[in-house]
Amino acid sequence: MKNFIAASLIAADFWSLSKEFKKLENTKVKWIHYDIMDGHFVPNISVGSCELNSFIKKSNIEVDIHFMVTNPDIIVPNFIKMFKSRKLKNITVHAETCKNVKKLSKITRKNNIKFGLAISPESSIKKIINNIEYIDLALVMTVKPGFAGQDIINNCINKVKNLSNFFDKNNINIPIQVDGGIKLKNISLLSDAGANIFVSGTGIFKTNNYKVTVDNMMKIINK
Ligand code: DX5
Ligand code: ZN
């Protein structure tokens, strides 16, 4: 599996979004990662369906949505109905709030979208392992969900290692995504731990040259 980078839009300059997209299109980022926050599951509110609609239409970069919401079982099917776009590649919900992983996974996969399950720092990797047959991507959060610009919680790196070892031992070929605090200076820690998809917000948008930053990250994660 070729490892890759997803750019987390929440850290972009929202005043100049079209410029931000142009700069990203010049890089090797494979996905744009949209954080959808509801102000309940996390103490913050981010983009919603209106913004997403225009982003998906205007940009060619594939889309990954990370739902940090209390009621994904209701919200996700509505989003899927609204966004019938081939650019929408993956939808991830949190294991802490999803009531019926099997059902939501079925709805998502039926629409040719991959289904990811995320765990917050306080949750065990068992929440992923117990649902393994329903998921196409495992997201191990490396910060407390809710805000960009935080530092990685070191203990989460061990969770990535443990999950990756479990996948290797059991011949499971599901990518491990990591999200939160990932930058050029620390990406090797997650790569060595066995992660495959690296979400980076501040680590890209607060650098001077996105292309150079992403190229350098790609060298590390595919060495
Ligand atoms: C945190 C979000 C992340 C975050 C990434 O709740 O899910 O996607 O915004 O931003 P950085 O890389 O700045 O932590
Ligand atoms: Zn995210």
Residue tagged 């629409």 (tokens): 111
35 tagged catalytic: yes
Q: How far is CA 100 from the centre of its chain?
A: 20
Instruction: Give kind and range of the element (H or E) at residue 214.
Output: helix 210-221
Whether 31 lines ligand 1, by a CB cut-off of 6 Å, is: no
Q: Give the other-Cβ count within 10 Å of 8's Cβ.
A: 24
Whether 8 lines ligand 1, by a CB cut-off of 6 Å, is: yes
Q: What's the pLDDT at 4? A: 98
200 C-alpha vs ligand 2 centroid, how far in Å? 9
148 C-alpha vs ligand 1 centroid, how far in Å? 4
Rg (CA), the chain: 16
Whether 201 lines ligand 1, by a CB cut-off of 6 Å, is: yes
In the predicted model, what is the mean pLDDT of residues 122-149?
A: 98
Q: Say which ligand is closest to the CA of 152.
A: 1
41-76: pLDDT as tens digits: 999 999 899 999 988 888 999 999 999 999 999 999
168-214: pLDDT as tens digits: 999 999 999 999 999 999 999 999 999 999 999 999 999 999 999 99
Q: What's the pLDDT at 104? A: 98
69-108: pLDDT as tens digits: 999 999 999 999 998 889 999 999 999 999 999 999 999 9
Domains and CATH numbers, the chain: 4-221 (3.20.20.70)
The minimum-distance atom of ligand 1 relative to the CA of 33 is 8
* CA dihedral sign of residues 141, 126, 103, 99: negative
The minimum-distance atom of ligand 1 relative to the CA of 200 is 12
Q: How far is CA 202 from the centre of its chain?
A: 14
85 C-alpha vs ligand 1 centroid, how far in Å? 24
Q: For residue 211, give every residue at least 6 positions away whose Cβ sits within 8 Å of its Cβ, in sequence order, or none.
A: 23, 26, 27, 28
The mean-pLDDT minimum among 25-34, 75-84, 111-120, 192-201 falls in: 75-84
> Which segments within the chain are labelled E, that is strand?
4-8, 31-37, 62-68, 88-94, 114-119, 137-141, 176-179, 197-200
140-171: pLDDT as tens digits: 999 999 999 999 999 999 999 999 999 999 99
| C-alpha span between 46 and 124 (Å, rounded) | 26
CA angle 91, 98, 54 (to 5 degrees): 35
Q: What's the pLDDT at 85? A: 87
